[in-house]
Amino acid sequence: MIPKFMIYKVTKLNLIESHLDAAQKKCAKESGDRMNLVHFFMHELAFYFLSKCFRQILEKNKSPEDMLEFSGLSDLRFCHRNNVSLPISPTEDMDLKKKIVFLFFEVLSFLTGHQIPRVYLGKTSFKFKDLIFGILRKGYIPYRFKIGGFYFNSYGLQKDILLKLCADLLHQIQATAQEREQFWYDLDKALDQIQNLMTQNLDVLDRRSQKDVALIGSPAKLHNRFLSFSAAAHTIPVYGCLHGSECGANRAYNWVYNDFTCCDVLLGYGPAGRKLAETARSNFFGELNNSFNYVESSCENVQAVRDLQKNKTVKASLKFQEAKVLYVASRVRGVDCINPAIVFSPSVNISFVREILDQFENVDVKTHPKGDMINYGVEDSRIKTGDLKDLLSTYDAVMVDNVATTAFAIMAASELPIIYFKMTDGGATTEGQKQILRRVKYFELDQKHPEIPIDSLNNLRLVRNKSYEFTEKFSLSNSQNENNSRLDKVLDLF
């Protein structure tokens, strides 16, 4: 028996988002450009306060299973993960091999009179070796951005706005005296780091080329955000590489204030992403919305699935009971929240998957690679790990309960039927929701009392997918020449 599925009213969580939005807009009036103090900490502020609020909701709704299942959680701390402070400077957590590589190029730059243009590197998903050699082939040298020296216009006024925002949010979540003390301590430490970086010597800038660029991955990582802000402060163009596997289907708040507003050029995915990116920037920058270039590219994992499926024979139609089905489980990792569009009790989500597995022996489950180890109550042979795109070739259909994921975009590229247990819109855009529902066979479940549609599934006939509109709009480029990898494509932009 599945307990009450706790997808909560998100009013309180949305209120936190509205406070964050109002404060960053207020800071924008002082900053006059991208150097916005609230924006710099936006992701960490959202993660801390939304997660605190989410945990309180679980406790208030008397969900002992959640708190017991995740009783080993470390306390939430601002700008921390697992009680370890997040590095703001990109060089703080660099391994020895990379430090040696960057030192070599610093010496080379010195010996050549700093005439070779640099690519200041943040953290990206590209392989380090491929990235280094790709940069060299373009006539640049890789460089670590360690100079700091960025600024915030009217820093004192912006800091006051940030402190007022935090005080209001601490009151809203009814933080304890101990939580308040710890939060203010962590915020003060983070601001001290910012002020130290703002006052560093900038002599190295006199020796840089006018062709220098910065390359970052997800600005949800604080060190990529640091590099973005530092480069912008010195009019160095910032090239961003979108994470995930689609663009334009998901309007999640944390994406709007990260990937779309921390770069001058964004290497996105499908053509539908352009409208979402430009709208997000317009909402953020307003009249200051500077020039922005959205560049289409094809997600390589999605393209690989499309190519594999072309050579795979998929049955045009078969009964659900005769199909080999893979349930691609949502990530369950602690009791944290960054996207209020879908907020559920982790323990109830696990119970839901367990009952599916119990009811249908033809269903296996794929665990999330970044999630906690979950006991689904079945033999190990039915629990799958590894690369999703490889697993898809061994199944007849897939099941999901969340479509706001990288995994969904990969599944959507296949010919496999997708069964979707729809409990919220997951933060989809209007066009994203439209294309998702065209791609899947969905069962709309009661948010408070979901019941597995056993009879409907038993009578379901699965039909091979013949529509790739989701994939073509959100994950693959319209460009006729897509032989280049995403890395080559972004390097060609320099």
User: Which residues does 208 contact at the CB level (< 8 Å), separation at least 6?
Assistant: 114, 118, 236
Contact 443, 419 (CB under 8 A): yes
Beta-sheet pairing, 461-463 with 317-319: antiparallel
Predicted pLDDT of residue 484 = 76
The pLDDT tens digits of the residues spanning 446-464 come to 766 668 889 999 999 998 8
CA–CA distances in Å: residue 1 to residues 67, 162, 263, 452: 20, 46, 48, 10
Rounded to whole angstroms, how far apart are CA atoms 346 and 55? 11
Predicted pLDDT of residue 279 = 83
Domains, the chain: 1-73+150-199 (no CATH), 96-146+202-298+478-494 (3.40.50), 301-474 (3.40.50)
Residues 111-140 as b or e (16 or more Cβ within 10 Å = b)? eeeeebbbbbbbbbebeeeebbebbeeeeb
Rounded to whole angstroms, how far apart are CA atoms 112 and 433? 54
The residues with which 419 forms a beta bridge, in sequence order, are 399, 441
Predicted pLDDT of residue 278 = 84
Predicted pLDDT of residue 461 = 93
Contact 207, 51 (CB under 8 A): no
Predicted pLDDT of residue 33 = 65
Contact 473, 435 (CB under 8 A): yes
Q: Which residue shows structure tokens 């900038």?
A: 202
Residues of the chain under the 50 pLDDT cut: 1-9, 71-72, 201, 203-204
143: left (phi over 0), alpha (psi -120 to 50) or beta: beta
Rounded to whole angstroms, how far apart are CA atoms 53 and 12? 8
Beta-sheet pairing, 461-463 with 265-267: unpaired
CA–CA distances in Å: residue 102 to residues 118, 143, 190: 11, 6, 26
Single-letter amino acid, residue 376: Y
The residues with which 420 forms a beta bridge, in sequence order, are 400, 442
CA–CA distances in Å: residue 310 to residues 87, 313, 389: 44, 8, 13
Rounded to whole angstroms, how far apart are CA atoms 75 and 179? 9
CA–CA distances in Å: residue 341 to residues 11, 274, 368: 11, 22, 20
Predicted pLDDT of residue 341 = 63
Query: Which helix (H) or strand (E) segment is 31 a member of?
Result: helix 11-31
Predicted pLDDT of residue 350 = 83
DSSP, residue by residue, 355-406: HHHHH-TTEEEEPPTTS-----SS-GGGEE-S-HHHHHTT-SEEEES--SSH
Provide the 3-class DSSP secondary structure of residue 27: helix
Rounded to whole angstroms, how far apart are CA atoms 272 and 475? 9
